Structure 1
Amino acid sequence: MYHSWLDRWDERRARRGEEGKKVAGLVLDADRAFPGASETASIQEFCLLADQAVADPAFFDEPSDSDEGFERKDGWLKFPSDIATDIAANNVVWAKVTESGSFDHALVIFHHWNASARNRQIANFLSRRGITVVEIAMPYHFERSRPGSVHADYMLSPNLGRTIQSIRQAVLDGRKLIRWLKSDGYREISVLGMSLGSWVAGLIAARDPAVSKASLFLTAGSLADMVWTGRATRSIRDSLEPEVELTDLRRAWGPLNLENYANNLARPDLDLHIVLAKRDKVVLPALSERFMLRLEDAGARPTILELSCGHYSLAMPPYILLAGLSLKRFLFSAGKSALRSGPV
């Protein structure tokens, strides 16, 4: 009976998030996704470019190593993004810094899609225990929002090219921030990603050797499958389905599929921590399980916590407390481990 109530609560919460999500048409915009690409006229041409990006080890590398433009004041850090978009506010990256008084460890947090607030409780909890927390704004969120928008429709949408550009921008912004933190003296860098933010954190961890620990909440491998099957992205599927099949969308968004980087995530100097919701209707458990198997096949041994809640009800007690304690143990652990617990 309790789980039925929990499912209904998640559904009510999902409905509140549907404001402003409208059905639109498929847009390719390959020149946004792939720098230097010429205009493409078909999904097949787009998929060929995506295949090349998956095979390109430099696709998520920073275009420069300049630290110019970083400004730090009153607990905030801002700097220019290395990707210029047609939304001026989106081209400046903002991050909230909660200091710990130590340079031993910094955690960079990547929030979920359409986040309305940063994670002050997590930041305060960890900072009091010696970890500096840096909460970055992903593209088209918070201070970077598109004027007049009611949700971050430019970050994840039926515009295939803009979606790749936005997530690639989030990865490059995160890597630039991590490089600055290392230059500022932080010895250990961890990343935490939530839902869509877990794709960003995972891509960064797969590519950036400066990251020693990655915690992924409510995650899976294939972003295409998540969008196609998830409760929060019905309007995107409704926009795409008349014009593109799921098999093509998987190829088109191949550069964003964490399964394609499982070998990188299994590198010996990276610890992985994953929190999953067994009743998730946004990131379906079957997709998460497929990703876990892909990681296992690659040799990764993540610490996995499975909780008997939904995507949104993870934020409720006791689930958020269990997830928080698991995160704390992971961040303060000494090295690689393999543990799977749940459901709780």
Structure 2
Amino acid sequence: MKLSDITSQDIILTGDRTTGSLHLGHYVGSLRNRVLLQDRCQQFLLLADAQALTDNMGNYLKVRDNVLQVALDYLAVGIDPDKSTIFIQSLVPELTELASYYLNLVTVSRLERNPTIKDEIKQRGYERDIPAGFLTYPAAQAADITAFKATVVPVGEDQIPMIEQTNEIVRRFNSSVETPVLVEARAMVPEVGARLPGIDGKAKMSKSLGNTLTLSASADEIRQAVKMMYTDPNHLRVSDPGQVEGNVVFSYLDAFHPNIELVKRLKEHYQQGGLGDAVIKQHLEECLQELLAPIRQRREQYARDPAAILAMLKQGTARARQVAAVTLSEVKAAMGLNYY
């Protein structure tokens, strides 16, 4: 589904793991859509610190500290806490209780077949030494989604299997009780940027690969990152025709430059020959400097008052708990666990 398909009746649930500041891949893939969505429907933004611990046990301070960093990124890009509910996952215990019930609706073999989980297990080299919390994360994510009766979950293509498994759990639960309680969700994959490559051109932008450009990057960091960007290794002379496909600079121009016609002309010129890498990198740097400067400035302003950020998170978490508590009560009543 597309952004234009969202209506005022939809409930959005999305969020980020708190293992580092957010980067350009997050911005083009989801953050700028969240800013638009907050004026269109009800939106919950989850700071997924509990989920981050599924493969970061021992890095407690890193996970904790980045709750504040991600919250700063949200505010800096224009997310309004009066319009979107920003909350801390670990402070909503209703989610954990829901996940414990959902684990009875899914088998170990089904969890192991989840393509997203399989890929991430391979990436981390777990083989059979898989943390149980990591393996069972699809049930926890189902709790995150269903607790707010979300109808839409913005995700990258690699996360679609997680939404499919959530809906399997929803259907299985609803079929086991007299009156259906839970709601199925639809995945919304960004039209642009879901797979924004890293500045090295070798993989999608990822904190773990060190090929990112954060939203708080300084002017010099932006300049250096653009200089390092992968272009066309066979474009040795300005006069040589160049390849646009697989060229990271053009991928970023497509994602971020507001002048679509200019980018189109640059591509045609580059493919014909006569346009150097330095020129297209200059266009990209100017674009990114203009994009990130106000974000960086707003972030620095918010960072001066961490107490206000924590107060905002406390308020948002309280709102989230109220909503999740209603869903949990309905789920327990459906199962006959409302004893008194």
Q: Which has the higher contact order (CA 8 A, sep 6+)?
A: 2
Q: Shorter-chain TM-score: what band?
A: under 0.3
**Which one has the largest radius of gyration?**
2
Q: Identify, as 1 or 2, the structure richer in strand.
A: 1
Q: Identify, as 1 or 2, the structure richer in helix.
A: 2
